[in-house]
A and B are shown apart, each in its own frame.
Chain A
């Protein structure tokens, strides 16, 4: 069982965005410790921005995100595959070993136990035999398994997944979904950006439905209702350089 438990993630009227334009606007609420939450919404609704805000890659324009007692560098974050340079000649085992960074840093030596943990993680995601393969020889699904193995090695109480099932086949998705549920069973906090509404409804207990601002947030079956989805569709993404400054003060 997991020894550490992640503290809750508190959004204190947080606004995140780019060049003064909000992508997540005045979000308030809390992701409970040990919960498993799907973040759902159309493209441009601020889902990935929210994840970047939690992990600390993006500083809030206004308000703040509190994760008391957990160093942000200890968060496991699975980025979108587009961020990864697959042409760089690095092997599967080296890529998975990057997950040791929070513990070993720049100079820490990799121990026999670390190597065993990396081998176990590779085996868990079903890539035994692929250790020496370079990233450019892997399929999209295999690379996603590599990234999941890296999350396993990080062994964090808080796991953030940005579109973990994009462009992978059903069998791989099911396997990786089982892994996510295992993390949830171990009382880790899991937050995943998803596009698949059925998956969110069936496998994730909690859902945050977003369109820059939360449309609904709570138990997935109560959130993903036809009425809420209709409201979601009526919200449109906007980027207006002539829009007035938002006067809503952060509370």
Chain B
């Protein structure tokens, strides 16, 4: 009974915990597969940059409508897409590479965002935007989280074939006149969508954690794409559950607790993961027959 109370009590007794769990699990279904593709495309740090880039849009939404998910989300989407497209255009049209171009835009974006929030709100508001509050997920936020995940899964299914081709052999896809550029932009749109969905729960700074940490952990458990996605979604969901539980019992901030749980899964996977974990490396001076 004590174990039951510990593991399930908070979710049975409190609707805000159930909402938080439902919202964060919905987020897992959308964000984790996107994170797998970001990792495979070596865009993990780009996700971090994009997470900062959505801040001014969210801040303008906050400035005009207060702490409401929809206006802040729409503002974040616009800012994120603007930065992604602008960075891409500068990278293609000038000598600057995409990483430097993106870094420049996101730094401008981040400072603009902090400036806008500080003009109106208190430091508590700023903390809320930066670090989120999954325990304050309301009906609107649940709809946004569920909607974003649904859109992500459907769009990912639609673009899966060219997205894989674009990842493995972009020159081939361009040669057969495949929609490489369109797929890249749509994929960036999905990244931004999931970051925006995630910032209500986890904050702008930690939203990317639900994408990258489960994907990085999955890399130590699966070798094939479908396996990586399945493990990443599983790790993300488990992290949400464990994180919320720790948050409740230990009175921790929920966003960092969830992200740290995913981080713990990643650290453990480095050692015990069956697909490349340190403990499963062949012993020194030993080799297989074939």
Contact = CB atoms under 8 A, between A and B. Distances in A.
Given A89-B225, A106-B179, A134-B223, A77 B162 contact: no
B6 interface: no
A85 B224 contact: no
A79 B254 CA distance: 49
Contact of B168 (A77, A101, A135): A135
A57 interface: yes
Contact of A106 (B161, B168, B174): B161
Interface in B20-34: none
A211 interface: no
A136 to B, nearest CB: 9
Contacts of B103: none
B168 A88 contact: yes
Given A89-B228, A106-B162, A57 B167 contact: no
A160 to B, nearest CB: 9
Contacts of B173: 101
B165 A101 contact: yes
Contacts of B158: 106
Q: How large is the interface on B (under 10, 10 to 19, 20 to 34, 35 or more residues)?
A: 20 to 34
Interface in A76-120: 77, 79, 83-85, 87-91, 94-95, 98, 101-102, 106-107
Nearest to A85: B168
B176 interface: yes
Contact of B175 (A55, A94, A135): A55
A73 B179 CA distance: 12
A157 to B, nearest CB: 15
Contacts of A75: 175
A150 B169 CA distance: 12
Interface string B75-92: 000000000000000000
Contact of B169 (A71, A87, A98, A134): A98
Interface in A134-161: 134-135, 150
Nearest to A83: B171
A83 B167 CA distance: 10
A72 B169 contact: no
Contacts of A90: 164, 168, 225
Interface string B150-179: 000000001101101101111111111111
B40 interface: yes
B223 A77 contact: no
A29 interface: no
Contacts of B170: 83
A164 to B, nearest CB: 14
B236 to A, nearest CB: 19
Contact of A89 (B40, B161, B176): B40
A56 B176 CA distance: 9
Judged by DSSP, the binding face of B is helix
B172 A79 contact: yes
Contact of B223 (A71, A84, A89): A89
B224 A89 contact: yes
A72 B177 contact: yes
A88 B168 CA distance: 6
A87 B41 CA distance: 10
A59 to B, nearest CB: 12
Most chain A CB atoms below 10 A, which of B40, B161, B164: B161
Contacts of B161: 106-107
B225 A77 contact: no
B165 A88 contact: no
A107 B164 CA distance: 14
Interface string B114-137: 000000000000000000000000
A136 B205 CA distance: 34
Contacts of A95: 168-169
Contacts of A85: 167-169
Given A89-B225, A98-B165, A134-B223, A57 B171 contact: yes
Contacts of A101: 165, 173, 176, 178
Interface in B196-239: 223-225, 228
A83 B224 contact: no
A21 to B, nearest CB: 14
Given A88-B40, A89-B228, A56 B175 contact: yes
11 contacts: A56-B177, A57-B174, A85-B167, A85-B169, A89-B40, A89-B223, A89-B224, A89-B228, A90-B168, A94-B164, A134-B224
**5 closest A-B pairs by CB:** A73-B177, A83-B171, A77-B175, A79-B171, A88-B168
